[in-house]
Amino acid sequence: MATVVRTYEPGYWDKFYLPAIARGLLLTLVRMFRRKDTIPYPDIKYVPADGYRGLHRLNKDEDGRIKCVACEMCQTACPAHCIDIVPEPAPWDDGGEERHPAKFEIDLLKCIFCGFCELACPKDAIELTEIYDYASFSRDDLIIDREGLLKVYDITSMGNIYERQNRGESIQIDTGNL
Ligand code: SF4
Ligand code: SF4
């Protein structure tokens, strides 16, 4: 069935443009008193919803040791092949975990932030955090290493960093390379 497209024919008052201007000003006036959809970033940081999948961290246990046992399950589950783990015997000899990662790197430029690594981990050792505002001029800087991932744990384990920054706390996202 054919679609009839009618051309716009301005009415008598439309030719004065005044009704359209009045409608536009009224719309502006109404919007002025509505809740703003924008925020003055970076003075105020956007706080993502719970479950947001941002920069990764490696968790520590109650003794401050890395929880990761270098089982490589996250590396196997990662669809982007951006996790690189090299295991080694754990340095502690007290009946705890026998392995830990000598190297644990994530290429953030390849990562698609799917969260599969977090789901695959049997030790609750890797977790995606709320952090979204990291950047670099160098590709190499966007490969985060074990120490960087542990630093992310240190700055995020005391609560959402953007809520804390919005309360006036000074928190630098310094994860080594980033
Ligand atoms: S979030 Fe997804 S793509 Fe990124 S490291 Fe984890 S499994 Fe790989
Ligand atoms: S982060 Fe979890 S899944 Fe990945 S190697 Fe460590 S313990 Fe295994």
Predicted pLDDT of residue 47: 96
Per DSSP, 14 falls in state G
Per DSSP, 60 falls in state B
End-to-end Cα distance, the chain: 59
Three-state secondary-structure class, residue 129: coil
Q: Which ligand sits closest to the CA of 53?
A: 1
Sign for the CA dihedral angle at 91, 94, 99, 101 comes to negative
CA of residue 96 relative to chain centroid, distance: 32
pLDDT > 70 in the chain, percent? 96
Mean pLDDT, the chain, as a whole number? Answer: 92
Predicted pLDDT of residue 176: 58
Domains recognised in the chain with CATH numbers: 56-166 (3.30.70.3270)
Ligand 2 geometric centre to CA of 123 (Å): 7
Can you tell me the distance from the alpha carbon of 58 to that of 66, in angstroms, rounded to the nearest whole number?
A: 7
Q: Which pTM was predicted? A: 0.82
Can you tell me the distance from the alpha carbon of 37 to that of 128, in angstroms, rounded to the nearest whole number?
A: 26
Tell me which residue of 59, 47, 69, 45 sits closest to 168, measured CA to CA.
45
Read off the pLDDT band of 178 (50, 70, 90).
low
Stretch 43-60: mean pLDDT: 96
Ligand 2 geometric centre to CA of 128 (Å): 13
Predicted pLDDT of residue 175: 61
Q: Which ligand sits closest to the CA of 122?
A: 2
Read off the pLDDT band of 9 (50, 70, 90).
confident
The two three-digit tokens of residue 101, written as one number: 């990662």
Stretch 81-93: mean pLDDT: 92
Residue 113 alpha carbon, nearest atom of ligand 1: 1
Predicted pLDDT of residue 44: 95
pLDDT, tens digit, 9 for 90 and up, residues 15-46: 888 989 999 999 999 999 998 889 999 999 99
Tell me which residue of 116, 148, 130, 127 sits closest to 54, measured CA to CA.
130
Q: Is the CB of 150 under 6 A from ligand 2?
A: no
Q: Is the CB of 113 under 6 A from ligand 1?
A: yes
Tell me which residue of 176, 136, 171 sits closest to 157, measured CA to CA.
171
pLDDT, tens digit, 9 for 90 and up, residues 113-139: 999 999 999 999 999 999 999 888 889
pLDDT > 90 in the chain, percent? 70
Ligand 1 geometric centre to CA of 135 (Å): 18
DSSP string, 18-55: HHHHHHHHHHHHHHHTSPPS---TTTS---PPTT---S
- Residue of 6 and 167 predicted with greater confidence: 167
Predicted pLDDT of residue 177: 53
Q: Which ligand sits closest to the CA of 128?
A: 1
φ/ψ of 68, rounded to 5, equals: -65, 135
